[in-house]
Amino acid sequence: MAENYKFDFNKELDKVKKDRNILISTCGAVAVIVGIFLPWYTFNAFKLSYSVSLGLNGAGILLLVLAVVTIAALLNVLNKDIKTMLLVAIVASALTVLVVLSKRSGSSLVGVATTGLGYWVTLAGSVAMTAGAVLSKIKPISTIEK
C-alpha cells in the first residue's frame, strides 16, 4: 500500500538543523553550487585580465548534479534512514572533490592562469559535503525524531 507523503519544507529544515553532519553537507553543497558561478580562473597576459567561471557548462553541470544528488540522498536518509543513501551521498560528494581537483589551473604559453575564488569555494564546499556524509555514516542518525 502506497504511503501518502506530503512534503513539509519547515519540518525537513528542522530535521537538517538537528543533525550537525547533514547540516555540514548541505552547507557544503550550497557552497559548491555558489562556487560554480564565481570566477575559477583569471588569465593575465599582455596587461589584460580575463576571468572564467564554470557556469552551467561541462563540469559545472556535473558539479551541480552531484551537489543536488548529495542533498537529495541525505534528505532521504533523514526520512527513511536508508544506509544505501549514505553511500550514494559519500560517493557523489567524493566525486565532486575529484572533479574540482582535476580542474586546477596552471601556466600557459601566453600568460599565467591563476586560481580564482570560485575554485576555492567549490573545493571547500565539496570537502565539507564529503566530511558531513562520511561523519553521517560513522555516527548513525538516531537523535532525529521521525
Q: What is the mean pLDDT of each run of 10 residues along the chain (146 residues)?
A: 62 73 86 89 76 76 85 72 73 82 60 79 89 76 47
Residue 143 has a pLDDT of 46
Gap between the Cα atoms of 98 and 85, Å rounded: 20
The sign of the CA dihedral 35, 91, 105, 58 is: negative
The sign of the CA dihedral 143, 132, 82, 30 is: positive
Residue 129 has a pLDDT of 86
> Measured between alpha carbons, how far is residue 88 from residues 102, 106, 108, 137 in Å?
21, 32, 37, 11
pTM of the model: 0.73
Rounded to the nearest integer, the mean pLDDT of the chain is 76
Contact 24, 131 (CB under 8 A): yes
Residue 1 has a pLDDT of 44
Residue 109 has a pLDDT of 47
Comparing CA positions, the residue from 146, 139, 145, 121 lying closest to residue 20 is 139
Residue 51 has a pLDDT of 77
Residue 78 has a pLDDT of 63
Contact 27, 82 (CB under 8 A): no
Gap between the Cα atoms of 36 and 105, Å rounded: 15
Query: pLDDT (tens digit, 9 = 90+) per residue, 38-51?
Result: 888 877 777 777 77
